[in-house]
Structure 1
Amino acid sequence: MSERQLLSEGHSEIVEKKSRFIGRALPITSEQQAQDVIKAIRKQYYDARHVCYAYCVDQITRSSDDGEPSGTAGRPILDMIGYACVQNVLVVVVRYFGGVLLGTGGLTRAYGQTAKEALEAAEQMEILAGRKIELVCDYNDYGKVDYLVRTGQIPVYGSEFGAEVTFSVMLEEEKYEDFIKEVTDLSGGRVRMDAGNPLKYGLVGDEVRLL
């Protein structure tokens, strides 16, 4: 699975045996920002029993059980971050104790599920390694190449329609050689292609974002 980043904050809330778990997933750019946000959330939820968290930023990974049994809160939150392949992220789960003990298994599931739902609620950008390829062709060949692009779900990044058609696509690195061959075979070599250097780009739905 490719790397991802959050573009917005995600919220979640679950209730498990009268305990209330509130999740927040936030994009961050530094460890200091993570600590500042955690401090602010502790202040906001001053009356909560536990404020547990995990974050990954600048190749730094930290987590906290904040008084819960070891490995039942911070670890499952961190695991959810890992499963989602999200970088530069902080996930905080606040617990209001409901008077019923959940046990280590129940705590692990509750913290993990709250973190998972908070991450899923945030808008995410997929980070991919690839190349920008500019293609120039006549209108007859454009129909064939456009069909290839659409069926392959390849993002188009800008188009110009003049005497010829000029358009660019963002192509994942592992698809590069096959795409070049397919376009060459499809058009008999008539489509002119100019491939840029390898780069990383973001994908939000069908929208390409250069990084």
Structure 2
Amino acid sequence: MPSVIAAAVHVELVIKKSRFIACVEPMPDRAGAQQVVAGLRAAHPGAAHVCWALLAGGQSAAVDDGEPSGTAGRPMLDVLRHQDLDGVLATVVRYFGGVKLGAGGLVRAYTDSVAQALLQAQKVPIIKLLQLRCTAPYALEGMVRRELDAAGARLDAVAHGDDVLFEFSLKAEEAVSLRIRLGNAGHGRIAWPGMDQ
């Protein structure tokens, strides 16, 4: 199950006199990631590189920022993928210490920087919610509310018209069993507008 991290975590490694300042943080999109990277560049004007990787669905990215191609951004992204994360930005600010690391050394340095930060990060599973709506006669309002509560659904809105309209969010895997329970308890009087019956 994919996870996101709860909060930003920073670590610093020194490898052959180069400083690697790594951060992993929750990030939903590329625009936000680019703002963070711009802020790091401004905060670290003497840094040789500000490399980053974003794993966020279709907005993922891997940027080497002047390091040899494939030695920074891609390895950082691979660490995020290996940890089954989503919605996470990894950044590494490098201050060059005068000793060249070579391609393999760079890959290890950037990989280790991100991995060390992730060791300290709290991971939170991503739970996909389904938005649903149903209508019920007034006489069944209490029963529907109890069933929604028992299923762990979040009640988003209730509207009273000819019937009672419930809009709620629920874990996707719970939806089918809830519909069956409501259908049985309501003896066919629960309707699901916009959904196939």
In which range does the TM-score fall when normalised by the shorter chain? 0.5 to 0.7
Give the one of 145, 163, 178 matched to 1:196: 178
Please show how residues 88-107 of structure 1 align to structure 2 within 5 Å: 88-107=87-106
Structure 1 contact 54–61 (Cα < 8 Å) conserved = yes
**Deviation sequence 1:118-168 (CA, Å, 0-9, x none):** 2222222013579x9959xxxxxxxxxxxxxxxxxxxx9xxxxxxxxxxxx
- Gap regions ≥5 residues in structure 2: 130-147, 153-170, 180-197
Could you tell me which residue of structure 2 aligns to residue 11 of structure 1?
A: 10
Q: Separation in 1 of the partners of 2:80 and 2:117?
A: 10
Please show how residues 153-168 of structure 1 align to structure 2 within 5 Å: none
Q: Separation in 2 of the partners of 1:87 and 1:30?
A: 10
Structure 2 contact 29–59 (Cα < 8 Å) conserved = no
Residue 120 of structure 1 aligns with an amino acid whose one-letter code is L
Q: Separation in 1 of the partners of 2:127 and 2:27?
A: 20
Q: Separation in 1 of the partners of 2:102 and 2:178?
A: 55
Please show how residues 162-181 of structure 1 align to structure 2 within 5 Å: none
Please show how residues 123-162 of structure 1 align to structure 2 within 5 Å: 123-128=122-127, 134=150
**Deviation sequence 1:93-131 (CA, Å, 0-9, x none):** 01111111111111100000101112222222013579x
Is 1:65 matched with 2:47? no
Structure 2 contact 4–26 (Cα < 8 Å) conserved = yes
Q: Separation in 2 of the partners of 1:58 and 1:31?
A: 10
Structure 2 contact 30–60 (Cα < 8 Å) conserved = no
Could you tell me which residue of structure 1 aligns to residue 43 of structure 2?
A: 44
Q: Separation in 2 of the partners of 1:6 and 1:98?
A: 31
Structure 2 contact 63–72 (Cα < 8 Å) conserved = yes
Alignment TM-score, normalising by the size of structure 1: 0.61
Residue identity over aligned pairs, in percent, reads 40
Is 1:21 matched with 2:33? no
Indicate the SS of the match to 1:78.
Answer: helix
CA RMSD of aligned residues (A): 2.9
**Offset, 1:172:** 11
Number of matched residues?
A: 145
Q: Separation in 2 of the partners of 1:44 and 1:121?
A: 23
Q: Separation in 2 of the partners of 1:3 and 1:117?
A: 19
Residue 84 of structure 1 aligns with an amino acid whose one-letter code is Q
Give the direction of change, closer, same or farther, for the CA distance of 1:196–1:113 in structure 2 (3 Å limit): farther
Indicate the SS of the match to 2:41.
Answer: helix
Residue 59 of structure 1 aligns with an amino acid whose one-letter code is G
Q: Separation in 2 of the partners of 1:17 and 1:36?
A: 30
**Offset, 1:11:** 1.1
Residue 121 of structure 1 aligns with an amino acid whose one-letter code is Q
Higher strand share: 1
Residue 37 of structure 1 aligns with an amino acid whose one-letter code is V
Indicate the SS of the match to 2:71.
Answer: coil
Residue 15 of structure 1 aligns with an amino acid whose one-letter code is V
Select the structure of larger CA radius of gyration. Answer: 2
